[in-house]
Amino acid sequence: MQKHKHKNAIHGIELRRSLLVFGFYGIKAKESGEFTLNQYNLIKKLLTKCFNKQIKVWFRISFDTPKTARPLGARMGSGKSPILYNVAKIYKGQILFEWSFVSKEANSSFIKALIPKLNIASVCISKGL
């Protein structure tokens, strides 16, 4: 992995990671954007709070893009600043994570709590059972 990456716009539709593979339910992105590690930790806390470790979860994203920022009083030049945090680039149509072994009532309460906390527009999908 490179130490620093250039900024590139996130365009296009994800075709490879757009179907449920592991679980019965999943969250699918309706727009492109970035997903931070803080949002990942928020989802993990919400899952343990709602389901008490009774489910199996598969996260389908990887945090491989580093983000850098310069301090406020810094002058121009002297190279690129250090890495602050990593993000995952999310494409339209990509599955963010999947889960299974949940009742429909618990699933709907989890979705109502989760969707407003994500910074990208997303929708819950399920396998046709």
Give 22-40 pLDDT, tens digit per residue: 889 999 999 988 989 888 8
How is residue 77 written in tokens?
């030049």
Q: What is the pLDDT of residue 95?
A: 92
Start-to-end C-alpha separation, the chain: 40
Q: Find the farthest-apart pair of alpha carbons in the chain and give their distance in angstroms, rounded.
A: 59
Calculate the dihedral angle through the C-alpha atoms of 88, 92, 97, 102, rounding to the nearest 10 degrees: 160
pTM of the model: 0.76
82 and 119 Cβ atoms separated by less than 8 Å: no
Mean pLDDT of the chain: 83
Residue 12 banded pLDDT, cuts 50, 70, 90: low
Topology (CATH) of 25-68+82-126: Aldehyde Oxidoreductase; domain 3 (3.90.1170)
